[in-house]
Amino acid sequence: MPYIAVEELDKRFTVRKKREGTILREKSVIHALQNVSFSVEEGELVGYIGPNGAGKSTTVKILSGILTPDGGHVAVGGRVPWKDRREHVRRIGVVFGQRSQLWWDVPILDSYSLLKDIYRVPDSDYRRRLDELTDALQLGEFLRTPLRLLSLGQRMRAELCGSLLHGPKLLFLDEPTIGLDAVSKLALRDFLKAENRRNGTTVLLTTHDMEDIAALCPRVMVLGHGKKLYDGALPDLLSRYDTQRILTVRYEAGAALPELPPGCEVAREAEEIRITYAPEKIPAAQLISLLQSAGTIREFTAQPQNIDHMIAAMYREMDL
């Protein structure tokens, strides 16, 4: 049996909007989720993506037991989250990039001590897990520092530690790297991969940062207008929209760019020339040969289209 089993999940919200030119409000129903079904095996690391308003956060809130759906069936570890919530929350961890479960004005070690009591973690398990996590997340020197005095990257590492102290089988991550610098993002990704590999923690990641998805998630689900639109391997999804390549070239002095085939887009920045082309229409060998004929090349790079551009193209095609 899958660790997460979702069948025909449905959730509706009633909203009231002010009618233009009057003080009256009109009532309307928004379908946040419509007949969404999927399953996740224990130990999987799955990306859950889609534009704002797609229903991602609603799904996470139902799976974590915060919301009750209007239809469908959900089981997480054999439990119905909103019915067995007390037992369910002991086996999950949640990290929201813009919210905190730690106390703002107290040292994070005191917050961890409170979480230990809330989750009823035995002393020996708590000490072992705290040592393991603080070492992996490099938190030792910050344990006696109030949360409000930590940098954003340090706070996110502290949040992850707090969410994993009780040894959850399932971890929900919502925009965990939002606002982090490149070094902090890489460190966080490395930790999550190690945690998944070492402890078999099942991870459901929702984010707009496609670099996070590409680095962490072999499998991705796409949600739009409350419906599941794709479920499978990320490379298979991206291959449909990987239609462009970018060549960057710098010449020695005196070289002039030759006439390129129709369909090539050329952008110049100082000495750098960037050429965007479709490999299906223009053979790379032909284009490179033309560039070499123009003069001595000092620098040359070839790279695929940016992953965010591919996802944007996917959203446009899916009318999201």
Residues 178 and 269 occupy one common structural domain: no
Residues 233 and 249 occupy one common structural domain: no
Partners of 233 in beta bridges: 219
Look up residue 48 and give its two tokens: 């859950």
Residues 256 and 125 occupy one common structural domain: no
pLDDT of the chain, 320 residues: tens digit per residue: 899 999 999 999 988 777 776 666 778 888 899 999 999 999 999 999 888 888 898 999 999 999 999 999 999 999 999 999 889 998 999 988 667 889 999 999 999 999 999 999 999 999 999 999 999 888 989 999 999 999 888 898 899 999 999 999 999 998 888 878 888 888 889 999 999 999 999 999 998 888 899 899 999 999 888 899 899 998 888 777 777 888 899 988 877 888 888 888 898 888 888 998 888 888 888 888 888 888 888 888 888 777 777 777 777 777 76
Residues 173 and 262 occupy one common structural domain: no
User: Looking at 206, 239, 272, which one is the last position of a domain?
Assistant: 239
Residues 125 and 108 occupy one common structural domain: yes
Residues 58 and 180 occupy one common structural domain: yes
Q: Is 200 exposed, middle or buried (0-12, 13-18, 19+ CB in 10 A)?
A: exposed
Any domain includes 18: no
Residues 191 and 265 occupy one common structural domain: no
Angle, vertex CA 49, rays to CA 235 and CA 73, nearest 5: 110
Walk across the sheet containing 71-76 and list its strands: 25-40, 4-18, 71-76
- pTM greater than the 0.75 cutoff: yes
Residues 269 and 220 occupy one common structural domain: no
Residues 290 and 233 occupy one common structural domain: no
Residues 149 and 264 occupy one common structural domain: no
CB 38 within 8 A of CB 221: yes
Residues 87 and 173 occupy one common structural domain: yes
Spatial separation of the C-alpha atoms in residues 32 and 36, rounded to whole Å: 10
Residues 88 and 177 occupy one common structural domain: yes
